[in-house]
Amino acid sequence: MAKRDDPETIGRRVQRLRHERGLTQRQLAEPSYTPAYISTLEAGRVRPSDEALHHVADRLGVAFEELATGRPAHLATDLRLRLTEAQRVLADGEAEQAALQYAELLAEAVTHGLVEEQATALLGLGECGLDTGDLTAAREHFEHAEHALAEASLPARVPARRGRAVTHYLAGELRYAVYLLESTLDEINRAGLHDPDALLLLHTALISPYMDMGAQARAAQAAELALALAPQAGDPALIARMHRSVARTLLAEGRVAEADASLAKAAEMYHQLKIRTELANCRWMRGYVYAQNGELSSAEEELRAALAMLTSHRATLYSSQVAVELADVLHRRGESEEASNLLRGVLDGLSSERGAVHAAAAHRLLGIIAEDAHRTEAAEEHYVRALGLLERAGAAGDLADLCRLLGDLLRRTGRVEAALDAYRTGLGHRTAGTTTLGPAPAQPLL
């Protein structure tokens, strides 16, 4: 039951409703109360009991909750139903339309003081921002959602915290994203709050930044814990997302068949849930699996399908990331000109603050294409730009590989000392491992 209004507000409401219905104080009072009591109530000089308010509500023909709080009957239920509808629109890939619905519902929830519904609408707006690539707006919505839930339990705040971390990850702030997720895990474990959905959400979100930072062991551990938590979790969409993320760690370990099986599970669940944007991400990941396994024709087919789906839904940031991986496959298939055109188009929408890791991947691939065409200066320029992006992002795993490419280029052009410096830098990133991340978060009791 929501907190009732103060006596003066309730009194004014009773008086207004009585006048609207053309009732006297005596008619409202009888048979259980006196006109004097109704006069005192309307003046706000008495705090009515639940019994008295039920009597007055019955006589006025309104719900008890509406009389006590000013909220129309079943308002919260109606808002929740409409929030579910907005979620369905977002799942269909219509992020802009969903954002309009969430914004309208947020305004209603704020007007009527419905905190949980406010937080749900803000989370939805944050997810819309992730889909459209508006990371600044997404982060603000997630922060406001966490603030709205300040009095709620920590597991209830985890979706907002995870959303904030994802915006930092996509912006290229890998280390801060990991800090947010790991510190939240430590808080949950210290408090003994074993909430399977919250823990699964956090471990799943950690996999990608761990992988990009070269922390393969931690990524594998996060995937193992996520798989162990899945049977206890109650959200099918969350379980499907977990299978999609775990596939990446399996692939890094050379377990291609298991990675493909994990993606098949995720795709099946997304089909059942009718989540089109996540289904596109599944095809994206499957294309990545095929590419890593050398099945370039199948990889191109999956990546083109994912790109078409994401582009049609205006998921600009994600579609740019898919385009980079498609360009890699095209280059490997001998279609370097198409790959170059695709990458140049992609770089218009990526930067050090927005998709930094994929922007670096685009420059890396343009460097390789330029080097294959014997355009050494252009290749070096792209490698150096990629290095700058990865260093700011802290993507140690990709940095080591890029330093090797740059070192090889410098060595072939006779700049041996510069090449040695590049190799040493790469070795430094390779050997850093996870030592710069601090101690790993404690494992939950499963």
Whether the CB-CB separation of 319 and 311 falls below 8 Å is answered with: yes
Please tell me the distance from the alpha carbon of residue 41 to that of residue 36, in angstroms, as a whole number.
Answer: 9
Please tell me the distance from the alpha carbon of residue 430 to that of residue 66, in angstroms, as a whole number.
Answer: 64
Which residue, among 18, 10, 149, has the nearest Cα to 71 in the 3D structure? Answer: 10
Kindly report the pTM of this predicted structure: 0.78
Kindly give the parts of the chain with pLDDT less than 50.
1, 432-437, 446
Which residue, among 372, 371, 277, 291, has the nearest Cα to 324 in the 3D structure? Answer: 291
Per-residue confidence (pLDDT) for residue 440, from 0 to 100: 56
Residue reference for tokens 């330093």:
403
| Sign of the C-alpha dihedral computed for residues 70, 72, 76 and 79 taken in this order | negative
Amino acid at 301: E
Helix (H, G, I), strand (E, B) or coil at 335: coil
User: Nearest 5°: phi and psi at 349?
Assistant: -105, 5
Per-residue confidence (pLDDT) for residue 435, from 0 to 100: 33
Can you give 205-273 as a three-state secondary structure string? HHHHHHHHCCCHHHHHHHHHHHHHHHHHCCCHHHHHHHHHHHHHHHHHCCCHHHHHHHHHHHHHHHHHH
Helix (H, G, I), strand (E, B) or coil at 444: coil
Residue range 409-420, pLDDT digits in tens:
999 999 999 999
- How far does CA 200 lie from the centroid of its chain? 14
Helix (H, G, I), strand (E, B) or coil at 166: helix
Question: Number of C-alpha atoms within 13 angstroms, CB side, residue 52?
Answer: 17
- For 410, residues 6+ apart whose C-beta sits below 8 A from its C-beta are 380, 416, 418, 419, 422
> Tokens for 383?
């490698």
Per-residue confidence (pLDDT) for residue 114, from 0 to 100: 85
| Alpha helices (H) along 30-173 | 35-42, 50-60, 64-69, 75-91, 95-111, 115-132, 135-148, 154-170
Per-residue confidence (pLDDT) for residue 282, from 0 to 100: 86
Per-residue confidence (pLDDT) for residue 399, from 0 to 100: 86
Per-residue confidence (pLDDT) for residue 437, from 0 to 100: 47
Range 133-136 contact pairs with CB under 8 angstroms and sequence separation of 24 or more: 133/315, 133/316, 133/317, 133/318, 133/320, 133/349, 133/354, 133/355, 135/167, 135/170, 135/171, 135/317, 135/353, 135/354
Per-residue confidence (pLDDT) for residue 436, from 0 to 100: 40
Helix (H, G, I), strand (E, B) or coil at 149: coil
Number of H helices, E strands in the chain: 23, 0
